[in-house]
Amino acid sequence: MQGKEYCGAGGARHFRCDLQRASTSTINSGGQHGGKCVRDCDRWFFAAACAPNFNESWGRERLASDPSTPSVSALSTEGMKFAYFLPAPAPVPAPVPVVHRGKDNSPHSELSLQMRHIILHHHIFKNAGSSLDSSLAAQFGQAFTHFEMDGNPIDERALVAFLDRQPLLEVVSSHNFMGGPIESILRSHGYRAFHLAMVRRPFQRLLSIYKYFRRTHTGHDLSRLAAQLDIQSYGRLLIERYPHMVDNPQVNILANDGFYGHAVCEDDLSRAWDRYSKYSLCAPVERYDESMVVLEYFNAPVYAPNGLNLAYVRQNVSEPIFGEENVKETLGEATFDWLRRLHEFDERLWSFANAELNRRICRVPEFDQRLASFKVRCQRLMAQAERI
């Protein structure tokens, strides 16, 4: 989406859209790491003047229903003024399946199209993202990077352009992916992505945010206020003035690309789970070690022969605060009850992720032995870090 965009505190996305343009490109890719020869192959062009209630998903579904229509078609909705289609080009033959090879030139166990594999870490604030980033950076070195756009959400075109400019990248982490539906665009440009994100129980996440803002002094209002207020007063303040921080923010990120424009509802939870359940890493922060073992196992074929090594040393950890073990008493009953209502869908999302992790664990052979081995690797890494 092109237009004027900005991002509020906690990743809340606000925008005024001036123009919507969508296109697809056909990629004939080749080479060890999926080097690409791009042929301009726009199937259609859509432009819309947008009202505040512009329904983006409706527009995309409407266009996708007949992308090759050569004639001009007028659409009438409150959010769209006009649309027109360009003729579709002649179809391009599908790429021939080939054996994809890793960095050591060893073939994968399965035939694969020559696609460039990318790990995308959707770093949700205070959800153990720094620990995961440290593991990925340790394994991939210069092939790992962060991609932020001054707090603005990263759309699919910006991501594709960023990847095209850096052909050696294998892992990108960002707070600003916002769970967006970018997979189809990536594939059409020759990329196959492994999406990683973790969710956290909402009260524990809120406490972590409070402790983070108290110790970092970022200059943001929420940081300044955290330094001045106790947790109970801070919780009430968020309810009264910063609803996007407490109204199921994790569901909102995954369902609405981080844009908070309405009270989060059941439909948002369904959309968030439909997206998130397909991620390569779909798991609760509270079961971090188990989730890393599962991720290592199911992504091993692409990173043969050595696979992924996601052993870690915990990063960005805050000191506990007084009363943290009894959240209800610490927040006060009235504030706790109000927040519990606002956290309903985030709590359910966490439960879904917890069940999904159990489902995946059941498909990992010798899981207990793998988990024990992972913990040993983490202990060794911690010992090395303490000696430095």
Angle among Cα 268, 274, 280 to the nearest 5 degrees reads 130
- pLDDT confidence of residue 5: 36
Quote the CA–CA distance of 276 and 285 in Å, as a whole number: 14
pLDDT along the chain (388 residues), means of 10: 38 35 33 34 30 39 44 35 34 40 42 76 94 96 93 85 95 87 81 95 95 84 92 96 97 92 97 96 98 96 91 82 82 96 98 98 98 96 86
> Residue 311 phi/psi, 5° resolution?
-60, 150
Contact 196, 120 (CB under 8 A): yes
**3-state secondary structure (DSSP) of residue 343:** coil
Q: What does the domain layout of the chain look like in residue ranges?
A: 199-387
The CA-atom distances, in angstroms, between 224 and each of 207, 234, 256, 331, 365 are: 16, 11, 28, 19, 49
Q: Which among 151, 245, 260 is positioned nearest to 206, based on CA atoms?
A: 245
pLDDT for residue 183: 75
- 112: nearest Cα among 96, 124, 128: 96
Q: How much is the pLDDT for 218?
A: 75
List the beta bridge partners of residue 38: 27
Beta strands in the chain (DSSP E): 2-7, 13-19, 26-30, 35-39, 116-122, 144-146, 171-174, 191-199, 281-284
Q: What is the pLDDT of residue 315?
A: 86
pLDDT value of position 283: 98
pLDDT at residue 250 in the model: 97
DSSP sequence for 91-109: PPPPPPPB--B-TT-PBPS
pLDDT at position 24 is 32
Residue 30: predicted pLDDT = 35
* 335 close to 239: Cβ distance less than 8 angstroms: yes
What pLDDT does residue 178 have? 76
Decide: pTM greater than 0.95.
no
pLDDT of residue 88: 38
